[in-house]
Structure 1
Amino acid sequence: MDGQAPNIKKWVVLYPIYINSKKTIAEGRRISAAKACENPTCVEIGDCCNHLKVPSAIEIDKLYPRDFQQVGRVRVCLKREDGTLFNPAISSRKELMLRVAELVPRHPGRTKKQEAAAASSTSGTSKSGKGGRKKR
Structure 2
Amino acid sequence: MSDTGDSGFISKFIALTIGDKRRWRQYKARVKQLPPSYRTAVEGIERYLMHFGFLDGGNAASLYEDVADLFERAAADRTPIRQIVGTDPVEFVDELIRNYAKGGYVARERQRLITAIDAAAGIEEGTVR
TM-score normalised by length of structure 1: 0.31
TM-score normalised by length of structure 2: 0.32
More strand as a share of residues: 1
